[in-house]
Chains A and B, each alone.
Chain A
């Protein structure tokens, strides 16, 4: 382990931590010690973590702010749920879920690629607003999508259910704002953890690959990178597409964990995109493990605050502000440095104590 470089060591630590937590959760669930709330949250937490990892690739390494990642999550969720629902009776469970996962991921990647072509010509806040716009367009279009299936095949409309002309006995697959109801529940904690670990490995390998180093070079100085002959557009496209695909995987997990899949502002609109951005920034820009930790903490926090009743969301917002100041304010960082309150210092102390033991 010593001869590996620092980032690989960190990756291994993260994966081991996730794995140990996974075992602990499994044992607790088997022995009935895990509360329903927690066991219900396991898969969503992994889904949000995945999207956060995806966005962190975009924000941290590509250096571009995307406010539309919930849109990619939405594409992944809806295409995969649509596939699963359509072939519910015709393909056995396991291959169908694998296919749904592949389809959801590819669809999100495709959207990411198509959107990246125009978007990456822009920069800064203009890029952010255009990704936000794409996310909103995706949500809006899905809300007016009506797809039904009967003996004659699949019917499609962008207006309402009546114009489909479904035969009696036909089923609605996507029913406008009511979305997809009755997606088979196939996301398990095991699958979610495997996908999360996989995505951490992929992102880690990507940022340390030749392409990844090129992406970092572009982020740090685009003109210099261009001068040494790096094909800027190609590298940016690759990074953005991977980022979108990972968000799509999160969407697939999310969709196969809930009976009623709808596209609202809170779960696939700009509110969600912003929430994911909060995970990324709070966890540390460019720090994938941090994104996972932040996603876990911020998803659990409002649930653990339920006892506060009416004051729940108020306290949540105060904690959010406080955490941001604690993690980012230069003044507070300096104070923490001086008093040994940084993450590294605390871990260091921990180690020393144990060596003493």
Chain B
């Protein structure tokens, strides 16, 4: 019996040493995305998003874009004279795995979090950062549950209510359509969030919703039925608050059945023209509400897009642009607060919470971006229309 207990203790000690080992090692582990600045004092900025799994393209876009921005900032002398180290962790868009990723970053010594990419996962992580007092800036999690009750969480993208409301107002003001059909992803927080706010506002501004159809994550290959029902209901405008992966199928199928209403997507549709081999003529006349257009003429956008294409291939989407801006927003806020990496996480967090509310930032995804205490961004959404295979601003 004694021997058995002894061997058990031995096993436990071995296991414990393994666990402790990971605790210590993780700070020295350097993933390829990192800027290797080991030894000296740096800003440790963490990122979380799906780089594997069904939402991988969004997470990878964000990861690559932050990397570009971090490289630029470091080349230009860093923030307040200190370089940035950047570490991005995969969460497969799952809340639990996202918390795991967050804990990994915490062990690495993260001071500021730029993430997470998806809404559901972000809501789980923002509760953690709130408790730990780590400043969090999410590039793309638009749900209100992300910022609600968490004074340390700020969004770069429009919130769901904002997008839904602005879309409905825009459609009503410009009389783009009278009979509205909606197709949305009822299993996705982002899509259903935008839909609900759109529908509420639509009734206020006198738009008639004639058909509301849903699909789910397990059922997103075929949209012919939803389109057919909208067509039968006589919808002359389709509101499509979901991502471009499904968007390209919807456009193809609508074309096949000869149904050509005005299509109106929100920011998830951005990236549509970047889908490899996509027949852009199908997207002709599609409206979308996006803060970013990859073929915009200004210098900042062009430099970002060409760097992205050169380093990672493919066209960056709005997620990537938001994430790129995020690094500069953090930079601006840190400079305004005049902080150094010696400050504790809590000091950085409190200082940034007040600093970001005074920031007025011009970036790829908007002019004069400001933030309120609730964590929401105020920037002008740009409605663009796709013409001749490119985005054309219509405001």
Contact = CB atoms under 8 A, between A and B. Distances in A.
Contact of B20 (A34, A175, A355): A34
A16 B5 contact: yes
A310 B103 CA distance: 19
A22 to B, nearest CB: 9
Interface in B163-186: 185-186
B31 A254 contact: no
B218 interface: yes
- Per DSSP, chain A at the interface is helix
Nearest to B60: A310
Contacts of A304: 22
Contacts of B26: 35, 37, 306-307
Contacts of A309: 31-33
A160 interface: yes
Interface stretch (B190-198, B300-308, B310-318, B327-335): B190-198
B8 A162 contact: no
A355 B6 CA distance: 12
Nearest to A350: B7
Q: How large is the interface on B (under 10, 10 to 19, 20 to 34, 35 or more residues)?
A: 35 or more
Interface in A158-211: 160-162, 175-179, 181-182
Nearest to A1: B1
Given A1-B1, A33-B23, A162-B196, A20 B9 contact: yes
A176 B195 CA distance: 12
A337 interface: no
**Which of B30, B89, B93, B95 has the largest count of A CB atoms less than 10 A from its CB?**
B95
Nearest to A179: B120
A143 B103 contact: no
Contact of B51 (A1, A143, A310): A310
A17 B186 CA distance: 45
Contacts of A310: 32, 51
Contact of A38 (B6, B23, B33): B23
Interface string A336-357: 0000000000000011001100
Contacts of A354: 3, 6-7
B8 A17 contact: yes
A136 interface: yes
Given A266-B92, A269-B218, A40 B99 contact: yes
B94 A266 contact: yes
A8 interface: no
Interface residues of A, number: 57
Contacts of B127: 182, 259-260
A310 B90 CA distance: 9
A161 B5 CA distance: 57
Contacts of B340: none
B71 interface: no
A16 B8 contact: yes
Interface string B190-228: 001101100110000000000000001110000000000
B12 interface: yes
A241 interface: no
A24 interface: yes
Given A13-B8, A258-B124, A36 B106 contact: yes
B145 interface: yes
A155 interface: no
B246 interface: no
A38 B24 CA distance: 11
B276 interface: no
Nearest to B53: A266
Given A36-B106, A44-B96, A28 B20 contact: yes
A37 B52 CA distance: 20
A143 B120 contact: no
A267 interface: yes
Given A260-B123, A310-B51, A35 B19 contact: yes
Contact of B89 (A25, A177, A264, A306): A306
A307 B216 CA distance: 33
A307 B15 contact: no
B104 A37 contact: yes
B189 interface: yes
A264 B12 contact: no
B20 A312 contact: no
Given A140-B216, A309-B33, A160 B195 contact: yes
Contacts of A260: 95, 120-121, 123-124, 127, 145
A258 B9 contact: no
B95 A258 contact: yes
A35 B94 contact: no
Contacts of A175: 145
Contacts of B7: 350-351, 354
Interface string B1-39: 101111111011101100110111010011111000000
Interface in A250-297: 254, 258-262, 264-267, 269
Given A16-B8, A259-B126, A260-B124, 18 more contacts: A23-B12, A24-B12, A24-B13, A35-B23, A36-B103, A37-B23, A160-B196, A177-B192, A178-B193, A254-B96, A258-B96, A260-B120, A261-B95, A303-B104, A309-B33, A312-B52, A354-B3, A355-B3
18 contacts: A1-B1, A28-B16, A28-B19, A36-B107, A37-B26, A41-B103, A136-B218, A140-B216, A140-B218, A177-B186, A179-B189, A258-B95, A259-B126, A259-B127, A265-B217, A266-B93, A306-B26, A307-B31
Interface of B: 1, 3-9, 11-13, 15-16, 19-20, 22-24, 26, 29-33, 51-53, 89-90, 92-96, 99-104, 106-107, 119-121, 123-124, 126-128, 143, 145, 148-149, 185-189, 192-193, 195-196, 199-200, 216-218
Kindly list the 3 A-B residue pairs having the minimum CB-CB distance in the complex, ordered from nearest.
A35-B23, A259-B127, A260-B123
Interface of A: 1, 13, 16-17, 20-21, 23-25, 28, 33-41, 44, 136, 140, 143-144, 160-162, 175-179, 181-182, 254, 258-262, 264-267, 269, 303-304, 306-307, 309-310, 312-313, 350-351, 354-355
